[in-house]
Structure 1
Amino acid sequence: MGTQTMGTQISKLQALMLAISSITVTGHLLFIPVIINRAGRDCWLSLLVAAPFALFIGYMVSTLSKWYPNQTIVEYAQSIVGRWLGTLFALAFLFYFFHDAALSVRGFGEFFTSAITPRTPILVYFSAIVILAGYAVRAGLEVLARTNAMFLCTMIPIGILASILTHREKDYANFLPILEDGPGPMLLGSLNLIALYSTFLVLGMVFPQVRNARKLRAASVLTMGILIVMFLGPVTGPVAVFGGERGAGLSFPTYQMLRDIQVAELQRLDILAIFLWSLGSFAKISLYLYALTYGLQKLFKLDDYRSLVAPTGALLVAFSLLLSESFIGIYRFLQDIYPIYGLLMGFVLPALLLLIARIRRVMDSKGGPGNESERKARVRGGGGRREDNVPVRPAGR
């Protein structure tokens, strides 16, 4: 006899905290050295240029979820552009989630094997973080969101403490002269930041599970504003401490900054970075593994996403190994290719969906061609809050 499975629901705050953890740890591990290498002492200007785009990304993802309630991005892509083209969009988004998760797994392993335990095989770290993430994903989104909220409440005070402890070592004269090499490097650095902020798209897989979606758009834009502020210290700190040239040559500049600084009797502040990045990497990889498996369930109309967690996790470990022969190759990809790739997947394609959806809504409001397929899709999406999509048995059967 089957059992009825009710959908998991989380709060807006829990959903947005998932985004904060995810984007922050990716920025620290992978993007900050790339941005500093690109923009140098003008990295703070890159933050300012990228800020309006970040706010629009929050607006865009939340607006699509508001217009298509109870549907994931995999589902409303088909509602907006049709079944076949929408399926291509959905597959592109799912590959984007898979690839970003693999980059995070690789970054986590490279950090530990490069900076902490160089004799440990990197596969050990890959397997450990993916197994932990898989366990959390199988427990459900609510467990994942609650765990991340607990971690983030620990991570933010530690991050603030680390910034305060390193403040005395910072020399803001290192940011002069401004735009010495022209605006080009600064603009390239801003493209990397916009590509990083575009990973907020993953919440398109989470927002349908939000308990109360009122004011979701304002909350999303506010979250992106918080992320902009949270990156001010990590992006500018290494340049203020080490200078533009040395800061650009470090693989993990924020870790190096904490490791080199001693405050009175306090030594080995690098343990703060290890703690933060370990918790953050777990949250990021868990979120993306959930988004990927839940998206596959929705796309192929499977009974339960949990059966996909183990094989998807195994593929994630294998793909992380195959991304590049060395971490230098990963950095080159993030610097030269990812800005275009990330903007296409996380910004251009969702913006195109938003534009088409807006046109269809305007036509519908003016009495234009009936949007029957969209209305039917919304009706079908009414039960989209059930994570595993198991139909409810009629009473008495």
Structure 2
Amino acid sequence: MEEPRQITMIQAAAILVSTIIGVGVLPIPLFAVEAADSGAPLVTLLGAMLAFVGLVLVALLGMRFPKKSIVQYSEDIIGKWPSWIGSVCVIGFFAVLTSLTAREFGEVVITAVLTKTPLEVTVIVMLLLAAISTRNDITTFAYIHHFYFPLLLFPVLLIVALSLKSAEPINLQPIWGNEHKEILGGVLTIAALFQGSFILTTVIPAMRRPDKALKASLWGFLIAGGLYVTIVAATVSVFGAEEIKNLLWPTLELAKATSLPANILERLDAAFLAVWVTAVFTTLFSSYFIAIKEVSKLFRLRDHKMFSFFLLPVVFFMAMIPQNILQMYEIIQNVGRIGLCITIAYPGLLLLIAMIRKKRGDPVEK
């Protein structure tokens, strides 16, 4: 059954931004600094550019097959059984990504806000919220993201702008960093934080103008990538690379060190965490939506609602596997790097084969 075509280019870009800006906002300066010290902003920029390659491949595939998602057109390109394996890997990866996002959210909440609340409670509440929300159709999904988009963007930009009064430009020199051994690993880790942009494969079949998917991708990535680079640059310039290595969530510390003019609010960490919770929800919402939506496409079902709670116990169980925060971040980095094969290499392979075999979907009537 064909999706109702109601999503505009602006909504598609908003979905990309609110999906990419998520739980990774807190540790991204640490990941970048561990890779290249003062070259952290450069590593973040390179990671964003690598992730953008994957998004372009997904957008080109979606424009080539405007009525189908990746599970459907992969079958046309490489055949039933090879595509089935690829689709299961995509679904499994985003289910794991959902569980790790929920776990990271739970760890931050019980450490910074609700110190006496059990971890399981915070994780299951967020997963339940996402599961209930995914029972809506793709149009409502787009409206939810579009609504939260300005609530995510402007507060973070405000905090970054206010923090610059404490910035020391010397902390950003040399711009290419002192250590270069870990740069490649850092670029891959940063690129993995952008993998939520894969939601575009699910969004394109519902766009009014699928031919504008590439333009939506460009705008979405410019905003989200620019915000991540700005956050890393601001954090490094305020604290310095060596100090950041001792912080678990540098962006949260940046919010604590920032105040509004005239001391209206002496610390912005409480307001920042409220915005961050919303950002986590939109990211979790998207990754969970990809998983259950593509499962329904895989089994050729008309509706995805039956899987929203069916997948919940599996995701919750996976979220509880890491023993502590350090092991959780180690798993997140490893899973993220492996996932680049699914979000960049797999779409690249599909596009190459589609071009060689001259495969193309039915065009959309304008």
TM-score by length of 1: 0.85
- 1:278 CA drift (Å): 0.9
Secondary structure of 1:148's aligned partner: helix
Find out whether 1:326 has 2:324 as its counterpart: yes
Secondary structure of 1:347's aligned partner: helix
2:344 aligned residue (347, 357, 367): 347
1:210 aligned residue (207, 212, 231): 207
Contact 1:12–1:212, Cα closer than 8 Å, also in 2: yes
2:72 maps to 75
After TM superposition, the structure 1 = structure 2 runs for residues 132-211 of structure 1, keeping only pairs within 5 Å, are 132-179=129-176, 181-211=178-208
Q: Which moved more, 1:139-148 or 1:26-35?
A: 26-35
- 1:68 CA drift (Å): 1.0
Contact 1:29–1:111, Cα closer than 8 Å, also in 2: no
| Aligned partner letter, 1:124 | V
- 1:258 CA drift (Å): 0.8
1:116 maps to 113
Q: Which moved more, 1:4-13 or 1:149-158?
A: 4-13
After TM superposition, the structure 1 = structure 2 runs for residues 79-98 of structure 1, keeping only pairs within 5 Å, are 79-98=76-95
- 1:178 CA drift (Å): 4.4
CA deviation vs aligned residue, 1:105-154 (integer Å, no higher than 9, x gap): 11111110111122111111112111211221112222222122111112
1:296 maps to 295
- 1:48 CA drift (Å): 3.3
Secondary structure of 2:323's aligned partner: coil
Secondary structure of 2:320's aligned partner: helix
CA deviation vs aligned residue, 1:34-82 (integer Å, no higher than 9, x gap): 2222222111111332344243223211100011111111111111111
After TM superposition, the structure 1 = structure 2 runs for residues 1-397 of structure 1, keeping only pairs within 5 Å, are 7=4, 9-179=6-176, 181-263=178-260, 264-265=262-263, 266-322=265-321, 324-335=322-333, 337-338=334-335, 340-361=337-358, 378=361
Contact 2:37–2:179, Cα closer than 8 Å, also in 1: no
CA distance in 2, matches of 1:128, 1:16: 28
| Aligned partner letter, 1:125 | T
| Aligned partner letter, 2:136 | A
Secondary structure of 1:272's aligned partner: helix
CA distance in 2, matches of 1:5, 1:28: 35
- 1:274 CA drift (Å): 0.9
| Aligned partner letter, 1:357 | A
- 1:183 CA drift (Å): 2.7
- 1:280 CA drift (Å): 1.0
CA distance in 2, matches of 1:116, 1:192: 27
Contact 1:25–1:281, Cα closer than 8 Å, also in 2: yes
Count of residue correspondences: 363
Secondary structure of 1:231's aligned partner: helix
Q: Which moved more, 1:4-13 or 1:43-52?
A: 4-13
- 1:89 CA drift (Å): 0.6
| Aligned partner letter, 1:167 | L
CA distance in 2, matches of 1:355, 1:166: 45
| Aligned partner letter, 1:292 | A
Contact 1:97–1:202, Cα closer than 8 Å, also in 2: no
Contact 2:32–2:40, Cα closer than 8 Å, also in 1: yes
| Aligned partner letter, 2:268 | L
CA distance in 2, matches of 1:201, 1:41: 30
Contact 2:107–2:325, Cα closer than 8 Å, also in 1: yes
Secondary structure of 1:345's aligned partner: helix
Identical amino acids, percent of aligned pairs: 25
Segments of 5+ residues of structure 2 without an aligned counterpart are none
CA distance in 2, matches of 1:52, 1:303: 36
Segments of 5+ residues of structure 1 without an aligned counterpart are 362-373, 383-397
| Aligned partner letter, 2:259 | Q
| Aligned partner letter, 2:250 | P
- 1:341 CA drift (Å): 0.4
Contact 2:35–2:179, Cα closer than 8 Å, also in 1: no
CA distance in 1, matches of 2:3, 2:63: 22
- 1:309 CA drift (Å): 0.5
Q: CA RMSD in A?
A: 2.3
1:387 maps to none
